[in-house]
Chains A and B, each alone.
Chain A
C-alpha cells in the first residue's frame, strides 16, 4: 500500500510557506522524504526514524508521528529552488513504498 500524500499539487509565491502531508495505513518504522526536479532523478532530503521526531535542514523540516503513521514536510519562506515533486516513503521490512508525490510550484 502506497502512502497517501496531500495535497497533490500546490502553487506558491516565493517566500510563502507550505506543508505536505503523508499518511500510511501500514506501520512505519521510518519516513523518508525525496525531491525530484523536472527531468532529474529523485534526491534524498531526510529520514525520520523515531515517533514524534522532527528534523530540519535550513528552511525545510519534517515531523513524524509514529502513533498516527503520519509525517509532514514543512517548507518555510519557500525559494524558487524548492520547486519540484516531493515524495514520501515508508520504511519497513519489505522495503520502501513511495507515495504518488506532491507537485510544488514556486512562482517569483
Chain B
C-alpha cells in the first residue's frame, strides 16, 4: 500500500510569489491535514479537509488556503510569500476525520525556501 505522497520535495520561491503544494493520501483515507514545521515551533496545524470540506482551520493568515478533490488528493496554496513562510510543510492522512482515535500517516513533506 503506497504511503502519503507529497510533491514537490523541495521548492525555492521569492517573496511575493505564490506556491501550490500537493498531497496524495493513502488509498481509502478521506482526511488530509496540513502542518507547518519550523525549528523550535514544532508542528503548527494549518487546516484539515474531510470529504472535500474544510473541517478545521488553524491560526494562519488568509494567504494560506487549501482544497480537497473528490479523490481525496489535497492541495495547499500560499499567496504573496513572505520570508517567514520558509518551512517544512507536512501533510498527513487518516481514515476518518482526525481527532480522538484516528492515527495520522505523514508524508515526507515539502521543504519551502522563500528568498
Residues of chain A at the chain B interface (Cβ within 8 Å): 2, 29-30, 32, 34, 40-44, 47, 49, 87, 89, 91-101
Cβ B108 vs Cβ A29 within 8 A: no
Cβ B101 vs Cβ A42 within 8 A: no
Sample of 10 more A-B contacts, CB < 8 Å, known A29-B99, A47-B103 = A29-B100, A30-B99, A32-B103, A41-B90, A41-B106, A41-B109, A47-B101, A87-B43, A96-B98, A98-B45
Interface: B42 (CB within 8 A): yes
A-B contact pairs, 29 of them (CB 8 A): A2-B42, A29-B99, A30-B100, A30-B101, A40-B108, A41-B106, A41-B109, A42-B43, A42-B104, A42-B106, A44-B105, A47-B101, A47-B103, A49-B100, A87-B43, A91-B98, A91-B99, A91-B100, A91-B101, A92-B99, A94-B56, A95-B33, A96-B45, A96-B98, A96-B99, A96-B104, A97-B45, A98-B42, A98-B44
1/0 per position for B79-115, CB-CB distance to A under 8 A?
A: 0000000000010100000111101111111000000
Residues of B within 8 A of A92 (CB): 99-100
- Among B40, B55, B106, B109, the residue within 8 A (CB) of A95 is B55
Cβ A95 vs Cβ B56 within 8 A: yes
Residues of B within 8 A of A42 (CB): 43, 90, 92, 104, 106
The winner among B43, B92, B101, B108 for most chain A CB atoms within 10 A is B43
